[in-house]
Amino acid sequence: MVKDNNQEMNEKNTVEKVTLVTEALEIIKGFADGFATTFKHLFRKPFTEEYPEYKRPLPERARARIILTRDPDGGERCVACYLCSAVCPVSCISMQSAELKDGRRYAAWFRINFGRCIYCGLCEEACPTSAIQLTPDFEMCRREILSLVYEKKELLVDHGGKDKEYNFYQYAGVVTDVGDKGSHIQEEKPVNIKSNMP
Ligand code: SF4
Ligand code: SF4
């Protein structure tokens, strides 16, 4: 049966009306939910935490003051690889690498400008040795902006932070009884980075 034009128009109008009513109901429900939440809070007892008298314990993973941690054997974890510095979106980490007699690298100096740091945690993510870590200590505001530039002696701590047992040098870069680096099955010889120098 072929529908005439009037019938088609009527059906189209009906569908449009139903859609409009549905949308209107959804909007009204949204407003009602919002007002209900506000109304509920009008009768709640106010709850105020007096800071600094009361300091709310923050989760261990809260991101604030940055530290440089040590291995369980007391050695500095930082191998001055510059990864944290490279990944930092505001370029607030700088350092100078140096080498011990046994070839182990360390940071001769290490500096973080907390006046620029946005506590994003990317440096911690990038660090291969778990050296750099963010802590929940957020009370480091100062009036003097230059005092927010922390040197290595202020960053280096005497513990392993969140990763107490990890020891990078027990897993990487060590010569084992089985053989030197690159001598294991299917392992490629290490790249001599100095051979790429001009
Ligand atoms: S937390 Fe983010 S901004 Fe701060 S030093 Fe690390 S990478 Fe840079
Ligand atoms: S803190 Fe970690 S990422 Fe940054 S230079 Fe040291 S070892 Fe590399």
pLDDT 10s digits, 64-87: 999 999 999 999 999 999 999 999
Lowest-pLDDT choice from 15-24, 41-50, 187-196:
187-196
Cβ proximity of 134 and 66 under 8 Å: yes
- Of all atoms in ligand 2, which is nearest to the CA of residue 93? 4
From 85, 191, 99, select the one nearest 131 (Cα to Cα): 85
- Of all atoms in ligand 1, which is nearest to the CA of residue 90? 3
Q: Ligand 2, residues 68, 77, 79, 97: which to mutate, most atoms within 8 A of Cβ?
A: 79
pLDDT, residue 107, reads 97
Q: Which long-range contacts (CB under 8 A, 24 or more apart) does 141-146 make?
A: 145/115, 146/115
Cβ proximity of 160 and 69 under 8 Å: yes
Closest listed ligand to the CA of 123? 1
Q: Over range 149-178, report the average pLDDT.
A: 87
Closest listed ligand to the CA of 134? 1
From 168, 177, 198, 186, select the one nearest 83 (Cα to Cα): 168
| Mean pLDDT score of the chain | 90
Lowest-pLDDT choice from 22-26, 103-107, 137-141, 170-174:
170-174
Residue 198 has pLDDT above 90, yes or no: no
Separation of alpha carbons 183 and 12, rounded Å: 77
Query: Is the pTM for the entire model greater than 0.85?
Result: no
pLDDT, residue 189, reads 83
**Atom 5 of ligand 1, residue of closest alpha carbon:** 117
Confidence bin at 1 (pLDDT 50/70/90): low
Structure tokens at 88: 């930092």
Residues within 6 Å of ligand 1 by CB: 87-90, 92-93, 112, 117-123
Structure tokens at 163: 């990763």
Closest listed ligand to the CA of 82? 2
> Where are any strands of DSSP class E within 43-180?
66-68, 93-99, 105-113, 132-134, 149-150
> Please, what is the Cα angle at 42 between 38 and 44, to 5 degrees?
115
Q: Write the Ramachandran bin of 97: left for phi over 0, alpha for psi from -120 to 50, otherwise beta.
A: beta
CA dihedral sign, ordered 90, 63, 111, 106: negative
Instruction: Name residue, tokens 């009768």.
Output: 43
- Of all atoms in ligand 1, which is nearest to the CA of residue 122? 7
pLDDT, residue 2, reads 53
Lowest-pLDDT choice from 55-59, 80-84, 125-129:
55-59
Who contacts 196 (Cβ-Cβ below 8 Å, separation ≥6)? Answer: none
**Does the N-terminal peptide bond of residue 52 adopt cis geometry, omega within 30 degrees of 0?**
yes
Compute the distance from residue 167 Cα to the ligand 2 centre, in Å. Answer: 14
**Atom 8 of ligand 1, residue of closest alpha carbon:** 88
155: helix, strand or coil:
helix
- Of all atoms in ligand 2, which is nearest to the CA of residue 129? 7
Supply the DSSP symbol for 127: -
Confidence bin at 103 (pLDDT 50/70/90): confident
